[in-house]
Structure formats: structure tokens, C-alpha cells
Amino acid sequence: MTDTRDTVILGSGCAGLTAAIYAARAGLKPLVLEGHEPGGQLSITTLVENFPGWPDGIQGPELIDNMKKQAARFGAAFQLAHLKQVELNTHPFRLHTSAGEVSTRTLIVASGASARWLGLPSEQALIGHGVSSCATCDGFFFRGKEIAVVGGGDSAMEEALFLTRFATKVTILHRREAFRASKIMLERAMAHPNIELRTNTVVDEVLGVDELDVRGLRLRDVVTGVESILHVNGLFLGIGHIPNAKMFHGQIDLDDEGYIRTSENVLVTHHGVLVPGIYACGDVQDRRYRQAITAAGTGCMAALEAEKFLEGHGR
Ligand code: NAP
């Protein structure tokens, strides 16, 4: 076991890096465990148009890279490791990570959320063989092909628009009539000549398991019950995310969807009682807004709370 740290931050997305900037500037020398998906969701997105301060937008990976440099400049340390197990019933807290054990006086959980899948066996069998949840990672492989995107939110619209750079046709499949996406994103998708939107439609099976290559989709209209085949070479999922909080199950309070419950100032509870020294920020605790700027905001709050806690304990 190494020396006890003042602050460990789990996750290196927008929330974790903002917490790292604030904690590092406060002299807490935070250690950032970068997690399974270093850089978080922004690192696999394209143009971010709504982060204040960038009138022409900024590429997600560049924004993340800038934040990481900013945190490092003030003394944040980074480790390519993820949390395996955590002991919160002892203080300092004990973390068992893929790179060894760490002990820390405060813990900032910014572990974000990961892509949600439909859960069909055929979908799971074809991940990496035509099925993907990351348009920016895999879109390139679909040049000149036809693809489908599932979802009715902003992610699905954004993925579909991005994929038109490669695909000759993109069909958005949404399970309801009404879309969850913002007006501006929906209008962009609807106006694109190579995008078709199909509502009230679900995917029952991805075809091509034997060939290990997506050959099409068996669809069902949920209103009429009519089944049909859509011939596509790729399937992208844009159906939201699942919070990465499983490792805290039973040690802090999670809501019914698995998000960490926090007080208004990002403090964490167990059986409704505050657990001093632990804070959660960003998408792992935010089922409502889930924006880069709100993640950054709660990351800042978590670092300020950690600093206040340490001050109160004579650090
Ligand atoms: P979301 O808003 O929760 O939308 C998820 C969509 O997937 C919904 O339409 C949902 O259908 C559908 N869905 C969920 N589970 C499904 C299943 N098992 N089968 C079929 N469809 C399913 O998630 P998101 O699009 O990832 O957006 C998350 C947040 O990030 C939002 O606040 C969004 O505004 C933000 N965001 C913003 C931008 C941008 O501004 N450029 C880009 C991406 C994301 P129902 O509608 O029927 O529930």
C-alpha cells in the first residue's frame, strides 16, 4: 500500500478532469484513475457546439485533451487503471485498482456512464462485426454502405448525421412516434437527404450471425405487428447509457436505474445518511441533464467539497 492520498478521482471524462483541475489548483495533488474509457464520452464524440467559450465548437477529444493538460499543469497525476473493489466502511478509504491498492482521505466518483445495448443475442454476437455503439470510432468502416441507427434521442441524431459522411443511406429506427431529441438535432436529421426516419419500429434480430457480418435487420412495427427485413451492413446503437456505479452497490445509495444518489451539493449517502469524504459528479449521478457543462459543474463542486472536508480535518 502506498501513502495515503488526499484525493483520488475515479474517471477522466469532463467531470473527473474538472474536479482534477480544481483539486490540483487547491494543492491536493489528486490522483486520477482514468478508468475503462479514458476521456469518457467526449473523447468518442465529434464537434461539441454547446460548451461555452467555443463559438465555433470544439472537437470532443480536443476539449478533453485540453482539460487533461490543464489539470496536469497544476500537479494532477494520471494512472491508466480502473477500480475493482472499494472499502468505504473505513477511513481513509481503501481502493483496490487494476494497478494495485490506493488509500485516500477523499474520493470523487466521476466514473460516468457506458453505452446501452439492446441485449439481443444476435446483436451481442455481432459487436465489432457490423454492430457498434460508437459512430466516431467505427463509422469509417461503412464507406459506401447502408446502415441503421437505433434511438430517438440526441445521440441517435448525432450518430446518424455523422454516419452520412460514410454511408450512402442511414435509417433511424425509433420505438415510439415522438422523439426525445432536441428540436434542432431532429430537424437536421429530418432535413438530410440520406437519412430516413422510421418510427414505432423495433429490431427483433440482427441477421448475419453465421456469416459473422451484419446482413440486415428483422424489424417489427409495434403498432401493426408487421415484420419486415431491412437490408443494411451496419447497426449503430444510440439508445443512451448505463451509469458505471455497480462497484458501489451496497456501500452507497443508488437509485432504481443505478445512478448514484447525491445531495444538492454532490455528497453521497448510505441508507440516507451522508458518507463524509465521498462525492459523485457527472453522468454517474445525473439522470436528468447529462451535458458536458453540467458534468464539469458538478466536478468543480465535488473538488470544492473535498477541499472543505480536508480543511475541516486539519489538512
Ligand atoms: P436519451 O435522451 O435517453 O435517449 C435515448 C433514446 O434511446 C430514447 O429515444 C429511447 O427511447 C431510446 N431507447 C432507450 N432504450 C431503448 C431500447 N432498449 N430499445 C430501443 N430504443 C431505446 O439518450 P441520449 O440520446 O444518449 O442523450 C443523453 C443526453 O445527452 C441528453 O440529455 C442529450 O440531450 C445529450 N446529448 C446531447 C447532444 C448534443 O447536444 N449534440 C448529443 C448527444 C447527447 P424512448 O424515447 O422511447 O425512451
Q: What is the mean pLDDT of residues 86-99?
A: 95
Asked whether residue 109 falls in the same domain as residue 217, the answer is no
* Residue the block writes with cell 500537479: 75
Identify the pLDDT of residue 137.
79
Q: What is the distance between the alpha carbons of residues 184 and 66, in angstroms, rounded to a whole number?
A: 28
The length of the chain, given as a count of residues:
315
Nearest to 38, CA basis, from 76, 78, 69, 7: 78
- Which of 237, 262, 280 delimits the end of a domain? 237
Among 237, 256, 277, where does a domain finish? 237
Are residue 121 and residue 213 in the same domain, yes or no?
yes
Domain count, the chain: 2
Whether 1 shows a pLDDT value over 60: the answer reads: no
Residue nearest to atom 4 of ligand 1 (CA): 153
Ligand 1 pocket test, pick from 239, 283, 284, 288 with the greatest ligand atom count within 8 Å of Cβ, gives 239
> Which is the catalytic residue, given 138, 154, 283, 286?
138
130 and 161 belong to one structural domain:
yes
pLDDT tens-digit readout, 231-277 = 999 999 999 989 999 999 999 999 999 999 999 889 999 999 999 99
Between 48 and 152, the more confident residue is 152
Q: What is the C-alpha to C-alpha distance for residues 11 and 74, in angstroms, rounded to an integer? A: 18
Instruction: Indicate whether 282 and 219 sit together in one domain.
Output: no
pLDDT tens by residue, 264-299: 889 999 999 999 999 999 999 998 888 899 999 999
Pocket of ligand 1 (CB under 6 A): 50, 116, 118, 150-156, 158, 175-176, 180, 182, 238-240, 290
Nearest CA to ligand 1 atom 36: 154
- Residue 48: its pLDDT value, please? 87
Q: Are residues 126 and 228 in the same domain?
A: yes
The predicted model gives 15-27 an average pLDDT of: 98
107 and 149 co-located in one domain = no
Q: Which pLDDT band, with edges at 50, 70 and 90, does 116 fall under?
A: very high
CATH of the domain at 76: 3.50.50.60
Mean pLDDT within 76-84: 97
Say how many Å lie between the CA of residue 239 and the centre of ligand 1.
5
Ligand 1, atom 7, residue with closest C-alpha:
239
pLDDT of residue 2: 63
Claim to verify: residue 95 and residue 132 sit in the same structural domain: no
Using a pLDDT cut of 90, give the percent of the chain over it: 88
My answer on whether 201 and 103 are in the same domain is: no
221, 192: one domain: yes
Q: How far is the CA of 304 from the centre of ligand 1 (A)?
A: 31
Q: Percent of the chain beyond pLDDT 70?
A: 99
- Residue of 176, 171, 223 whose CA lies nearest to 195: 171
Confidence category of residue 92, pLDDT binned at 50, 70, 90: very high
171 is in which domain, residue-wise? 117-237
